[in-house]
Structure 1
Amino acid sequence: MKYRQKTWIASALLGTLAQTALAASYPVTTEQQSRAEQVAQKGVALADLAPNAPERHVVKAGDTLWGISSLFLTSPWRWPELWGMNKTQIANPHLIYPGQTLVLVRQDGRALLQVDGAAAPSGDERLAPRVRIADLPDNAIAAIPQHLIEPFLNEAVVLDGDEFAAAPRVVATQEGRVMVSQGETAYVRGLQSKADTYRLFRSGKPLRDPDTGTVLGYESAFVGTADVTRPAGQAQVDGSTLEVPATIRIRHIRQEVGVGDRLAPLPARQYSRYVPHHPDKRLDGRIISVYGDAITAGQNQIVALNRGSADGLSRGHVLSLWRAGRVVKDRTDERNDNLRLPDEAHGTLFVFQTFKRVAYALVISVQEPVSAGDRFSSPQ
């Protein structure tokens, strides 16, 4: 096993933590860099701690970075301040393991989070723990509950009209079958990718912007997965050269596969950890729909947003949900004027999948059911 020395800011004091070379580089905003540099030596102000922040917490299986941050801070997305990272470390956050004990140290009006048994920093002292560069270990805790979104990552397909028309398509099924199921054969035109395994999907519902009515994309229904067993080719028939479509074998189905269903390469497994962070610019928008058959969404459900990567939205962004203010009468005045109460933040979204003009987010917390048309914004 190989190890590599790295210098970490001492105030993080998270012990011997792992960092993967496969992890994606997360966007680091100017605001995050400034915050992290401010707290790297000092810690956070006591006023920023959660009211019931524990003095110590033993990391256990099932914990998440979001959950631990919620224990100690009033705003979980302010994770750089919790760990006291400098801007280099924000790009590839450390992984934390069950069994570690985190201790909250309060001194001089500030607070630092340390691993039990670690010595406090002094002056310009730095720690250089040994770091294993490897694949993401199975027992490292995730930023958010990974099991809630991982199945969705392979299933969610949002395409515009041109993309759907150009996607490889099933043109025939095995003889005698209108629809095919697991283990059966179908034939496909248009395969350009060299991938061996594909997702199958069917034209789905249009995702319309609640404000403009514009179709932002088409949420295509996941049908299943298939393996390519024979590539496309050509054949001579009665002196003519005819195309021979590729052959696929259905591996797994959510519903039976039929002529006209489209294909897309199966994405690589998502190894990267999703790290909560504040958008680097002001973002406002509305919820398009609740994923699945539900009309409203609660905690741990998935919603589609009318903003995507083209608008600056990216994986890991934290957003506030807003409840529209009610219209009430002023009964303290004889005129009985109608008044509109201000909107109130009542929940939190965590963006985990983005397309060009659409994104999907997990409802992390919410006080009331969430519906299409509800507003979201950058956290306050």
Structure 2
Amino acid sequence: MGYKVAVVGATGNVGREMLNILAERAFPADEVVALASRRSLGTEVSYGDKTLKTRDLATYDFSDTDIALMSAGGDVSKEWSPKIGAQGCVVIDNSSAWRYDADVPLIVPEVNADAVAGFSKKNIIANPNCSTAQLVVALKPLHDRFGIKRVVVATYQSVSGAGKEGLDELFAQTKAVYVNDTVEPKKFSKRIAFNVIPHIDVFMEDGYTKEEWKMVAETKKILDPKIKLTATCVRVPVFISHSEAVNIEFEKPVTADEAREILRSAPGCLVIDKREPGGYITPYEASGEDATYISRIREDITVENGLDMWVVSDNLRKGAALNAIQIAEVLINRKLLPAKKKAA
């Protein structure tokens, strides 16, 4: 018997990607339902070779639904995830609403799949921030072998991380520059076309942004609370895929060759690292792909047991939709979620 899956926020960038990936991976679903707010009622979205019409989240009965893939923002998740979970439907939430709740597992399947077993406390599982997801996929195999003490990361995050408005703003501003028209920032604090903005999410009292704080808190929860991490998160004029320049200090000696070999055999990682022009991955090439790509692996000569690398991944896929569906697959493969009996 297959599963009944609801995609909440099905008309958004990540919701549409969830539907695409469910079809691509032949997820064992007997039925997939697209849900959205009342204002999007009846909007058509694609699921494989089918077209689904969105239904109203507010009036939907989750009692016969097995999995809700939630990508409708933190406020919606705070209100609806507990209600959905109480109806016996497991919520896999893409927002930040539940990531720091001690009773909600924060999961990247390649890193901490075993922690998923704790989902039954609230019937909610959290997806990490997009920039964190790709980072910990690359860090995990190295941490297991050499022990990570400290990480310094600078991110180069695409506008799709800010939703459809971010994509639209980059497109509109780029066009305006070419025709010598006025460039007006709306979604972002400053012009994004042909520019970079060292500011994602709100500023906190210590001068870090919330996006940077998320990377710290989530890496500790997913990987190891003893790891020290500092981040600078930057929005760049790229449509899809986040890139990260990562500096790592280890407890044990490490060489670039050892790291390269370990990462080549690690789940979710794909090493493209030739020391020649073009021998690395850029965000354009990672777009539409599932892997976390790792390039520019080299020893940091300024610190003992140090390593530098370049990490790139599609933020709509591994950073959001793909990771959520991989979590659902873990639940099923580990027989933690039997399909509900369907009415005859």
TM bracket, shorter-chain basis: under 0.3
Superposition TM-score, scaled by structure 2 size = 0.25
- TM-score, normalised to structure 1's length? 0.23
Higher strand residue share? 1
Computing the radius of gyration from Cα coordinates, the structure with the larger value is 1
Larger relative contact order, structure 1 or 2 (CA cutoff 8 Å, min sep 6): 2
